[in-house]
Amino acid sequence: MAYLSELLGRQVHDAKGTRIGTLDDVLILPETNGDPYPRIVALAIRNRSHQPTLLPWGGTEDLAGNRIILQRPSATKYQAKGNELFLNRDVMDKQVIDIHGARVVRVNDLELAKIGDDYRLVNVDIGLSGLLRRLGWEDAFEHLTERFHRPVPSRSICFNDLEFVPRGDLKVSVARTKLRELHPADIAAILEDMSPREVGRLIHDMPDEKAADVMEELEPEFQAEVLRTLPDERAADIVEEMEPDEAADVLQEMQEDKRAQVFNLMEPDESVEVSALLEHPKDTAGGLMTTKYVTVPPDILTADALQRVRQEALAKEAETIYYVYVVDAEDHLVGVFSLSDLVLASPESPIHPITHYKAKRVQVTASREDVLELIAKYNLLAVPVVDEDNHLRGIVTAGDALDLILPEEWKIRLPRLF
């Protein structure tokens, strides 16, 4: 077992004891699929020449001693494939994402160990002990902590649980797929630790739908900063996939010129929906509501109503189907019934008996406090939003309302310094 920090700068000799140079970097190939411990493929060795020479890893070298001895130094140089990772240049000291811990950490050291005949990268040290080792303060601290009977916290992760934070100088394309498998809320929690540009690059690599799901979990202000870093076309694609109310929120946060460009590039039916929401101030029922809900006409049978819920829910990507709103031909809100009442009612009966005709509703201009109060007081999953003439304009779901009352720390991604 050896730490990269201790190996770098060591003398490299051949079997006869002739000095070849000093160790400058260690190369691995991350692409070896499924292998949790990537194998060393080459060493970068610096001698007097300006550029370090790449020597292929023979497999017989021993890294444990004070000097690295290449038993059979190859006469030919290593032919770089272009997707190698230089451990010192690309990984050491860099910010990486700890997938399991769902956070951004910094690499303090890299641990190489012999598995079979090969040396492999086994651990990525992200703990305090790695930091202290590199500062040369390890002994002093161990002395201290022994007195207090508390060990120096050491933490490390496996290379497989690591994802790279995108950056300009990392030319190697490391497939960024592990991150995508996490829940959007977890991804968002990680992204909040990064700069908008880095987030933009990560989002850029995701499919539109996933990108939109992740974006919705971020604060609108931060969303706007991230979208700023994306090309307009791509930003529009992502905003389209977002729920209309979330899309309206982020558009409101954007600068005027960017907003206009993104808005114009959106599919017409999506942008119409969003623009309807944009008319309303952000903290009113109109600003909170979504237009994706299910409606039925007043005089149909339960079976038909159920059929309609199935179709509409899919077609409209309804945010909730637990409430079905009854509207007349002019979109006036007549009443509401719940999905459970609908399922339990006999198929041949009309919907009239299960419909609540005095459904609680709010005006588009109602304040968010009014909306919250109504939802809380009547234990609603969603509340319909109507205009002065009782036209149904949208609904505010309990989930969206909940976002308003969550403790601030949960929600706010505070600006870093300002």
Partner 1 sequence: MPTLLRRIRPLRTRLLLLLSVVGPGIITANVDNDAGGITTYSIAGAHFGYSLLWLLALVALALIIVQEMSARLGIVTGKGLADLIRESFGVRATAWIIGIVVFANLANTVSEFAGVAASMEIFCVNKYVSVPLVALGVWLLIVKGSYKFVERIFLVASAIYFSYVLSGVLANPPWDKVFQAVHTPTFHVEAGYVTIFVTVIGTTIAPWMQFYQQASIVDKGLKVNELGYERVDVIVGSLFAVLVAAFITIACAATLFANGIRIETAKDAALALKPLAGQYAATLFALGLLNASVFSAAILPLSTAYVVCEAFGWEMGVSRDWKDAPVFFAVYTALIVLGAAIILLPIRSLVEMMLASQTLNGVLLPIILIAMLKLINDKRLMGEYVNGRGFNVIAWTMVIALIALTAILVVTSLFPGVFR
Q: What is the binding site for partner 1 (CB under 8 A)?
A: 5, 92-95, 103, 105-108, 126, 131, 134-136, 167-169, 192-193, 195-198, 200, 225-226, 228-229, 367, 408-409, 412-418
Provide, rounded to whole angstroms, the least separation between the CB of residue 391 and partner 1.
24
What are the tokens at 121? 């990268």
Q: Do 166 and 179 touch, CB atoms closer than 8 A? A: no
Provide, rounded to whole angstroms, the least separation between the CB of residue 389 and partner 1.
23
Q: Which of 176, 175, 171 is nearest to 80 (CA)?
A: 171
Amino acid at site 221? E
Provide, rounded to whole angstroms, the least separation between the CB of residue 362 and partner 1.
15
CB closer to partner 1, 54 vs 190: 190
Residue 151 CB-density burial (10 A; 0-12 exposed, 13-18 middle, 19+ buried): exposed
Provide, rounded to whole angstroms, the least separation between the CB of residue 300 and partner 1.
41
Provide, rounded to whole angstroms, the least separation between the CB of residue 130 and partner 1.
9
Cα–Cα distance for residue pair 330/113, rounded to 1 Å:
73
> What value does the CA radius of gyration of the chain take, rounded to a whole number of Å?
30
CB closer to partner 1, 254 vs 318: 254
Which distant-in-sequence residues (6+ apart) come within 8 Å of 260 by Cβ? none
User: 315-321: which pairs have CB atoms within 8 A and are 24 or more residues apart?
Assistant: 316/292, 317/292, 318/292, 318/293, 318/294, 319/243, 319/290, 319/292, 319/293, 319/382, 319/395, 319/397, 319/399, 320/293, 320/381, 320/382, 320/395, 320/397, 321/294
Largest CA distance in the chain: 96
CB closer to partner 1, 138 vs 341: 138
CB closer to partner 1, 138 vs 270: 138
CB closer to partner 1, 21 vs 130: 130
Helix or strand or coil: residue 379? coil
What are the tokens at 329? 């031909």
Provide, rounded to whole angstroms, the least separation between the CB of residue 414 and partner 1.
5
CB closer to partner 1, 34 vs 168: 168
CB closer to partner 1, 365 vs 390: 365
Provide, rounded to whole angstroms, the least separation between the CB of residue 376 and partner 1.
19
